């Protein structure tokens, strides 16, 4: 569950933007919410498709261009040293392709994710030395490779670093260090991806940004979207131009990738790139075969392109199967040990899991439970892990707190990676949760709603106005609208009950909304319930006609205060995992006999329960979520029910019990009263 927050609106500012710039109310509202207020900001955001700042604003860019130019002129063997994710792959293909075009003697190198890990390493440098490399140009990495670049220097190999990650205190001793996040770098726009920085190096070498965009915008677009950087400023130019190029690409590899992804007759959008093309590029890196993605982007042979694209597609299928198997195993672990997900930081480990996919799995678990999550792949001796956080909890700091248990660690507030010996996993779980308790009140995962919308205002006119905000992405998310107090008229299962079509009504206006990846069994509502929906609006083209389409992102009971529900549930979880809440909060989750009776009567009349636990709130008025959790725990302890709770739902069956049961004797009730 997420806390719903509606962004504050400044109506006076919205009116000013609307009147001053002659735009629609909905577009003015979205711009004000995104803090885009001045004429320069509005024109750049809505209409700029060409303007990119000089590459020489970036510190060391002149040095980098001069060193690369000298290598090209002298016929030195250059190695473009990349990375295995979509940003690293596209950065590598981009710079390699350009250097080859201008006559450079060039090769590329992508380290194996599992065998070598991220960034430069000495064994790779030795390999490149044996091939005769005289200049390494890093893309999407290198800023942290201090010792590795020193080693390359000792072998007579120069290095030009191009990177977009945050520098450490000590910079590498390279021929040039191009990174916008250096403290003394005067560049104005700081949010480029690795492929964006590589493109800037090409600008410094070539001089004409428009010609380069004409030839390479498709590759730059893939990497920019894949790295989830803010789609503002120059990144919007890259993506706008790139989406146009992708829609009419003459690159055989990209055409084959689009076809393998099932997008031949569909518009190429940021969403399609994010969820169809990029995962296929990333999949081979997760499975240790990133060179295939680079070759796909470089090949001029349609037959080879089709073959590689097919392999990427099968690798992506394999990746999804591995991910699904891990999630299924995690579901079993949670059912066997519910305390795993009741801790403040969820730490789940598994033997034989693939390290390359645990980051995706951590993201999925974080979305479900709204807490920081670390998923650990254990090989029996050593383990690698990836974590994802919620806004406001510094995961990299929490991981660093456990440094004495770790072999390596790094990251930023929202994501972290680490490695450790298998024997230290249990101690790591305890220590990172020790940090979380000391941290204080844990932040909630939030769902940000741009504004509330009356159903009668859903129209093609609004969607046409909103289209000026595209492309959507990080820093410019797809608008989320709140449809409040909508009564459910009908629920129709689709595709073997994998998805739901909801017919809703309010004030005489009917709305049809789609809810994907939720079955009727998992859906916690019924006909007649009044609900709130967080939705995205899209244009659906069908039989030559355009229709507004409503896609549901989240649903809640209209009476429900999501913050209060989460807070109440967390008091129970803290209590259950040995963190004693304050007395006031404890008293608020202590149920009385009437609460017990109401929940038990409902379960008996309903024949148990087979949906998410929080959906019981819709059936038990005036009983908080924390109380419901305490009641269920007490009933389980007293043998009144059997209860297993997994990722998707909670299964409760009632036991036959003869005679009266002393509710006060339940361990959790005694524990609460003992603390009070």
**CATH assignment at residue 528:** 2.40.50.460
* Contact (CB, 8 A) for 288 and 114: yes
pLDDT at residue 544, rounded to an integer: 81
For residues 92-102, give the mean pLDDT: 97
pLDDT in tens, 389-411: 999 999 999 999 999 999 988 87
For residues 487-515, give the mean pLDDT: 96
Name the token pair of 256: 């084959």
For residue 84, what pLDDT band results from cuts at 50, 70 and 90? confident
pLDDT in tens, 360-372: 999 999 999 999 9
CATH code at 430?
3.10.310.30
Question: Which of 168, 190, 217 is the endpoint of a domain?
Answer: 217
Q: Residue 49 CB: number of other CB atoms within 10 A? A: 10
For residue 541, what pLDDT band results from cuts at 50, 70 and 90? confident
Q: Is the pLDDT of residue 474 over 90?
A: no
SS (H, E, C) 503-558: EEEECCEEEEEEECCCCCCCCCCCCCCEEEEEEEEEEEEECCEEEEEEEEEEEEEC
For residue 292, what pLDDT band results from cuts at 50, 70 and 90? confident
* Contact (CB, 8 A) for 419 and 406: yes
Averaged pLDDT score across all residues of the chain: 94
CATH code at 145?
3.90.1640.30
Of all residues in the chain, the percent with pLDDT exceeding 90 is 85
For residue 65, what pLDDT band results from cuts at 50, 70 and 90? very high
Query: Do 73 and 211 have their domain in common?
Result: yes
Query: Do 406 and 521 have their domain in common?
Result: no
For residue 283, what pLDDT band results from cuts at 50, 70 and 90? confident
Rounded CA-CA distance 398/416 in Å is: 9
pLDDT at residue 94, rounded to an integer: 98
Name the token pair of 252: 């055989």
Q: Is the pLDDT of residue 116 over 90?
A: no
Query: Do 455 and 422 have their domain in common?
Result: no
* Contact (CB, 8 A) for 556 and 447: no
* Contact (CB, 8 A) for 480 and 510: no
Domain holding 32, by residue range, is 7-47
Q: Is the pLDDT of residue 289 over 70?
A: no
What interhelical angle do 11-21 and 25-33 show, nearest 10? 120
Question: Which of 202, 217, 232 is the endpoint of a domain?
Answer: 217
Q: Is the pLDDT of residue 117 over 80?
A: no
| 609-611 sheet: strands from edge to edge | 609-611, 650-654, 641-645
Question: Which of 188, 217, 246 is the endpoint of a domain?
Answer: 217
Q: What angle do CA 330, 333, 339 make, to 5 degrees?
A: 115
Query: Do 576 and 481 have their domain in common?
Result: no
pLDDT at residue 287, rounded to an integer: 63
pLDDT in tens, 5-33: 999 999 999 999 999 999 999 999 999 99
Number of domains in the chain: 5
* Contact (CB, 8 A) for 534 and 480: yes
Query: Do 495 and 620 have their domain in common?
Result: no
For residue 224, what pLDDT band results from cuts at 50, 70 and 90? very high
List the single range of 195-209, 271-285, 433-447, 483-497 with lowest mean pLDDT. 271-285
Query: Do 33 and 149 have their domain in common?
Result: no
For residues 326-341, give the mean pLDDT: 97
For residues 550-571, give the mean pLDDT: 95
């Amino acid at each position: 569950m997420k806390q719903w927050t509606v962004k504050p609106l400044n109506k006076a500012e919205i009116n000013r933007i609307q009147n001053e710039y002659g735009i629609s109310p909905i577009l003015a509202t979205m711009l004000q919410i995104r803090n885009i207020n001045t004429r320069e900001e509005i024109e750049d955001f809505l209409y700029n498709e060409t303007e990119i700042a000089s590459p020489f604003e970036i510190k060391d860019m002149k040095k980098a261009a001069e060193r690369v130019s000298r290598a090209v002129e002298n016929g030195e063997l250059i190695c473009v040293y990349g990375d295995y994710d979509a940003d690293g792959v596209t950065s590598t293909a981009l710079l390699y392709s350009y250097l080859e075009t201008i006559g450079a003697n060039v090769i590329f190198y992508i380290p194996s994710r599992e065998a070598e890990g991220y960034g430069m390493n000495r064994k790779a440098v030795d390999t490149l030395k044996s091939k005769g490399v005289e200049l390494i140009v890093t893309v999407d990495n290198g800023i942290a490779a201090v010792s590795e670049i020193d080693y390359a220097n000792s072998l007579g190999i120069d290095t030009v670093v191009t990177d977009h990650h945050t520098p450490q205190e000590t910079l590498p001793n390279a021929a040039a260090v191009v990174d916008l996040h250096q403290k003394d770098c005067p560049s104005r726009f700081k949010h480029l991806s690795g492929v964006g920085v590589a493109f800037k190096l090409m600008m410094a070498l070539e001089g004409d940004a428009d010609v380069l965009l004409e030839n390479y915008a498709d590759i730059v677009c893939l990497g920019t979207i894949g790295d989830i950087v803010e789609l503002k400023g120059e990144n919007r130019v890259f993506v706008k131009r790139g989406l146009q190029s992708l829609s009419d690409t003459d690159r055989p590899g990209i055409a084959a990738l689009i076809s393998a992804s099932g997008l031949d007759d569909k518009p190429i959008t940021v969403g399609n790139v994010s969820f169809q093309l990029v995962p296929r590029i990333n999949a081979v890196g997760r499975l240790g075969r990133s060179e295939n993605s680079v070759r796909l982007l470089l090949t001029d042979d349609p037959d080879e392109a089709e073959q590689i694209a097919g392999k990427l597609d099968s690798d992506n299928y394999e990746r999804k199967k591995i991910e699904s198997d891990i999630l299924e195993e995690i579901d079993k672990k949670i059912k066997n040990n519910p305390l795993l997900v009741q801790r403040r930081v969820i730490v789940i480990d598994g033997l034989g899991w693939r390290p390359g996919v645990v980051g995706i799995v951590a993201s999925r678990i974080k979305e479900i439970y709204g807490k920081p999550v670390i998923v650990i792949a254990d090989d029996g001796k050593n383990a690698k892990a990836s974590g994802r956080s919620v806004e406001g909890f510094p995961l990299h700091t929490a991981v660093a707190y456990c440094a004495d248990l770790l072999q390596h660690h790094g990251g930023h507030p929202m994501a972290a990676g680490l490695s450790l010996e298998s024997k230290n996993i249990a101690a790591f779980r305890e220590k990172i949760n020790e940090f979380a308790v000391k941290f204080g009140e844990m932040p909630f995962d939030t769902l940000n709603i741009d504004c509330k919308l009356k159903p009668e205002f859903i129209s093609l006119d609004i969607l046409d106005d909103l289209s000026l905000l595209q492309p959507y992405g990080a820093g410019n998310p797809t608008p989320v609208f709140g449809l409040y107090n909508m009564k459910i008229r009908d629920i129709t299962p689709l595709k073997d009950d994998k998805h739901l079509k909801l017919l809703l009504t309010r004030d005489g206006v009917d709305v049809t909304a789609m809810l994907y990846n939720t079955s009727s069994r998992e859906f916690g509502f019924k006909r007649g319930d009044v609900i709130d929906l967080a939705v995205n609006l899209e244009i659906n083209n069908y039989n030559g006609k355009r229709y507004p389409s409503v896609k549901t992102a989240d649903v809640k009971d209209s009476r429900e205060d999501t913050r209060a529900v989460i807070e109440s549930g967390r008091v129970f979880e803290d209590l259950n995992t040995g963190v004693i809440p304050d007395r006031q909060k404890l008293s608020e989750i202590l149920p009385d006999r009437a609460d017990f009776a109401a929940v038990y009567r409902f379960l008996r009349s309903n024949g148990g329960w087979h949906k998410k636990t929080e959906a019981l709130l819709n059936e038990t008025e005036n009983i908080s979520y924390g109380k419901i959790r305490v009641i269920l725990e007490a009933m389980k302890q007293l043998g009144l029910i059997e209860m297993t709770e997994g990722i998707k739902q909670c299964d409760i069956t009632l036991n036959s019990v003869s005679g009266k049961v002393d509710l006060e004797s339940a361990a959790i009730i005694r524990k609460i009263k003992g603390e009070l």
